[in-house]
Structure 1
Amino acid sequence: MNPQLLRRLWSLVERSQSSHLLALDDHSLVHWLLDQFTGQQSINQAEADQLHGYILAKIPLIRDLAQER
């Protein structure tokens, strides 16, 4: 996965309101982050698929980071 995409994703997670991230179920969280990400940067389908899988795998970390803020 492209390191630039990863940096942009984690920046998005950090800028997002913790309460919103924690209120979403896993499926909604993945799709919300993807929608927010693609609203800022155009990506192709392969990158979107990679990002989807990555976000899904990192949900526990995303929730932990949101709880700590």
Structure 2
Amino acid sequence: MTPLMLRQLWAVVESAQAQILLNLDDSSLAQWLLRQLKAQQSLDSDETNMLNAYIHTKMPLIRDLAEERLVPHS
């Protein structure tokens, strides 16, 4: 997994609507994120598997970031 792939993944997370990130179950969210990345670049099966595993390990962080966007800051 390259640094570029990681940057693109986190750019997708940051640009995605918070509701999408929060409303999908873990498996569906991982697949949604992978589809977004595949639309930007071609991924072979090894890259897809590595990204899928990485996404699953970062799922709590992804959801925390999405929740943070929904909370109004004073």
TM-score (norm 2): 0.90
Report runs of 4+ in structure 1 exceeding 3 Å deviation. Answer: none
Gaps of 5+ in 2: 70-74
Tell me if 1:50 matches 2:57: no
What residue is the counterpart of 2:30 in the other structure?
30
What is the percentage of aligned positions where both structures have the same residue? 54
- TM (norm. structure 1) is 0.96
Cα distance in 1 between the residues matched to 2:4 and 2:39? 16
- Quote the RMSD (CA, aligned, Å): 0.6
Q: Which runs of 5+ in 1 are unaligned?
A: none
> Take 2:58 and 2:38, find their aligned partners in 1: how far apart are those partners?
18
Matches within 5 A, 1:1-69: 1-69=1-69
Count the aligned residue pairs. Answer: 69
TM-aligned CA deviation for residue 52 of structure 1: 0.4
